Structure 1
Amino acid sequence: MPYTLAKMLLWIVLAVGLGIITGWLLRNVTARRQIARARSQRGDNGEVERLRGRITTLESTIAERDRRIADLESDVAPPADADPEPAPETAGDVLIGAPADPETEQAEAVLGTPVTIDDLKVIVGIGPTVEELCHGIGIRTWADLASTEVSLLQTMLNDAGARSKTNDPTMWPHQAELLAARDWASFAALRDELTAPSDASTS
């Protein structure tokens, strides 16, 4: 009996001791967590304050920039009562007083007529109607025409109808080649040859 009682007392003492140790450990862990949470909150508060300071600095910088821009705009803006600049005068599609194109001036001097670069109507045998036909198949410049086969041009004319079939496109690519190369003198000679009246045949 005394042995059993002593054994029970020993178990009770062990249980109480274990409970005390467990409670101490739990309180220690809880305290550490609270300390860590408090430190984290203090760190977050410091970061927030730092960001607020940067925002304030940026806002003042932006305000200063806007003020400088406004000052510059006021310096370059014309007075409210200033007379507007007159619009340049035009003659048709050409600005009066605009610098002339040296290429067109040279072409006009050699050919004796005003010339617009890549105007297909400059070529002997091409008028407004045929020019529109050429544009319809993608031929818009002298260089385009110079690289086009005569057979394709003839097909274009045949498809356009009987009136266009009478045109002879044989020399069109060669004329366009001279124009694209800005060989005005050679083109003028060829043009004069093509437009010269043919001698009446005698029998």
Structure 2
Amino acid sequence: MDMTAFWWFFGALLVIFFFIFVFSLYDVGPAVKESYHPAPSPVIPHHHAEEAPASKAAAPAAEDDLRKIEGIGPKIEAALKQAGIRTFADLAAKTPEELQAVLDAAGFARISNPETWPEQAALAAKGDWEALAALQGTLKGGRRRA
């Protein structure tokens, strides 16, 4: 190999390494950063036959990690908790239509499908983690696989 070819090869390598270095400095994540902050969603009132008086109300239950439910991520979990759905029992008591209304109000209209969330939450509330894992094995993104 003569010296001219060597220098062309060496120069090409330098250019390649330069571009690798420059592009490694930039974030190549999503092209659009999320700058949308949804408005607070309205709280859907609970209608219970027997409600305890305010003076004798039980202390609020500790919050559950709702992300254990297939199809719920951190942003949807925050929207649910803002709407007063803080535990697996709260989630299990809702219908998919009520959950969809919460998602719509929070700006997650067509992102998730809450069809199986109450069923999953009921299993999680009972602590039946094996049955929950078996159910989640049949789901994809919280939806039943076709």
**Structure 1 length as normaliser, TM-score?**
0.37
Say yes or no: does 1:168 pair with 2:113: yes
Partner residue, 2:138: 193
Give the percent of matched residue pairs that are identical in Structure 1 and Structure 2: 43
C-alpha separation between the residues in 2 aligned to 1:175 and 1:166?
A: 19
Shift, 1:136, TM fit = 1.0
Partner residue, 1:102: none
C-alpha separation between the residues in 1 aligned to 2:145 and 2:91?
A: 26
Say yes or no: does 1:130 pair with 2:76: yes
Q: Which structure's relative contact order is higher, taking Cα pairs within 8 Å and 6+ residues apart?
A: 2
Shift, 1:135, TM fit = 0.6
Shift, 1:185, TM fit = 1.1
Would you say the 8 A contact 2:138–2:145 is kept in 1? Answer: no
C-alpha separation between the residues in 2 aligned to 1:185 and 1:192?
A: 11
Gaps of 5+ in 2: 1-62
Gaps of 5+ in 1: 1-116
- The one-letter code matched in structure 2 to 1:124 is E
C-alpha separation between the residues in 2 aligned to 1:150 and 1:198?
A: 17
The structure having more radius of gyration, on CA atoms, is 1
Structure 1 residues 141 and 198, CA, compared in 2 at 3 Å: closer, same or farther?
A: closer
CA RMSD across the alignment: 2.2
Structure 1 residues 189 and 145, CA, compared in 2 at 3 Å: closer, same or farther?
A: same
Partner residue, 1:149: 95
Deviations 1:30-89 (A, max 9, x none): xxxxxxxxxxxxxxxxxxxxxxxxxxxxxxxxxxxxxxxxxxxxxxxxxxxxxxxxxxxx
C-alpha separation between the residues in 1 aligned to 2:101 and 2:130?
A: 31
Partner residue, 1:19: none
Shift, 1:166, TM fit = 2.3
Provide the secondary structure at the position in 2 that maps to 1:165. coil
After TM superposition, list the pairs within 5 Å mapping 1:1-203 onto structure 2. 118-161=64-107, 163-195=108-140
C-alpha separation between the residues in 2 aligned to 1:122 and 1:148?
A: 17
Shift, 1:198, TM fit = 5.2
